[in-house]
């Protein structure tokens, strides 16, 4: 299963939840955690910094940039100090690193060497500007080639996972991930197909059942009529699912709803973690 887990931290309010999720999975799966914080190069080289340095003529531009870099480095070290302490307290194997660059591009590069990436739904800038909500998360989820777990504001051990399954190639990848994860974590699994054609749903769910029958998993299979981007989040809330597993591109508008615009974030409160398989 997952043996190398990338843990993305930015000093925001979601960091505790991200670390707790990472520790939970590391302990259950005997995985190693790789803590990462990225110093945003746009902060140092963006137009805002140059505007500030130009306006403050009494401070040389290079000095301002250097001081800003020192502050960022110190902050990054403090972020990772908390991660390291949490890992040591939990006796979890870990490694930590500081990188510099465009945040989502650095994370995407790092994902290639890890089995799973964990990051928060709400980044550092959430309280400052709701319009910035999830921009890095959106880009990582949409472009990563390996599974990504997006956690909400708090984390507790998984108890009631849901797989949104539509029979697409990406959904089949998510089905395999769900089977292995629920088997390793000894969790039940609900498989949901949303569609207007009941016979089609029965065929899709039968396909999922045939696959899952090889695992020692207590599974149930549910059909719901309507549009996936409406029905899946409603089903999550109605049945108190704590983690939703799904393929990255199999559901189209569903992905846009869950990890999309500010309006869509407002429509769905984010009470459920989302594990996206590529």
For 67-100, what is each residue's pLDDT tens digit?
778 888 999 999 999 999 999 999 999 999 999 9
Whether residue 128 sits in one domain with residue 184 = no
Tell whether the model's pLDDT for residue 11 goes beyond 80: yes
Single out the residue in 102, 119, 151 at which a domain terminates: 151
Question: How far is residue 250's CA from residue 246's CA, in Å, rounded to a whole number?
Answer: 8
pLDDT of residue 143: 87
Question: How far is residue 212's CA from residue 49's CA, in Å, rounded to a whole number?
Answer: 54
Q: Kindly give the interhelix angle for 61-89 and 15-29, rounded to the nearest 10 degrees.
A: 40
H or E element, residue 101: strand 94-101
Single out the residue in 123, 151, 179 at which a domain terminates: 151
Whether residue 145 sits in one domain with residue 23 = yes
Beta bridge partners of 219: 189
The mean of the pLDDT values for the chain is: 84
Q: The domain that contains 233 carries what CATH number?
A: 3.40.50.620
Tokens (6 digits) for 197: 């054609």
Whether residue 118 sits in one domain with residue 88 = yes
Sign of the CA dihedral 103, 105, 109, 114? positive
Whether residue 112 sits in one domain with residue 80 = yes
Q: Collapsing DSSP states into helix, strand and coil, what is residue 98?
A: strand
pLDDT of residue 104: 93
pTM for the model: 0.85
Q: How confident is the model at residue 248 (pLDDT cuts 50, 70, 90)?
A: confident
Whether residue 132 sits in one domain with residue 177 = no
pLDDT of residue 256: 53
CA gyration radius for the chain? 20
């Amino acid at each position: 299963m997952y043996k190398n887990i990338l843990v993305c931290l930015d000093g925001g309010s979601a960091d505790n939840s991200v670390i707790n999720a990472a520790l939970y999975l590391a302990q259950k799966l005997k995985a190693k955690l790789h803590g990462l914080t990225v110093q945003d190069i746009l902060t140092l080289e963006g137009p805002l910094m140059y505007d500030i340095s130009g306006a403050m003529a009494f401070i040389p531009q290079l000095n301002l940039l250097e001081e800003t870099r020192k502050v960022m480095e110190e902050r990054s070290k403090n972020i990772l100090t908390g991660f390291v302490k949490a890992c040591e307290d939990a006796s979890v194997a870990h490694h930590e690193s500081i990188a510099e660059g465009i945040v989502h591009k650095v994370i995407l590069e790092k994902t290639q060497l890890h089995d799973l990436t964990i990051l928060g739904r709400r980044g550092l800038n959430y309280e400052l500007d709701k319009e910035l909500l999830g921009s890095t998360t959106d880009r990582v989820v949409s472009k990563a080639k390996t599974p990504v777990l997006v956690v909400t504001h708090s984390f507790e051990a998984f108890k009631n996972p849901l797989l949104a399954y539509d029979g697409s190639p990406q959904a089949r990848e998510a089905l395999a991930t769900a089977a292995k994860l629920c088997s390793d974590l000894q969790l039940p699994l609900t498989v949901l197909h949303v569609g207007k054609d009941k016979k089609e749903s029965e065929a899709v769910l039968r396909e999922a059942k045939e696959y899952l029958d090889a695992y020692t998993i207590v599974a149930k299979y549910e059909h719901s009529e309507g549009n996936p981007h409406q029905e899946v989040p409603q089903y999550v809330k109605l049945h108190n699912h704590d983690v939703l597993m799904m393929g990255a591109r199999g559901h189209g508008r569903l992905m846009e709803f869950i990890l999309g615009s500010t309006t869509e974030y407002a429509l769905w409160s984010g009470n459920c973690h989302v594990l996206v398989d590529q």
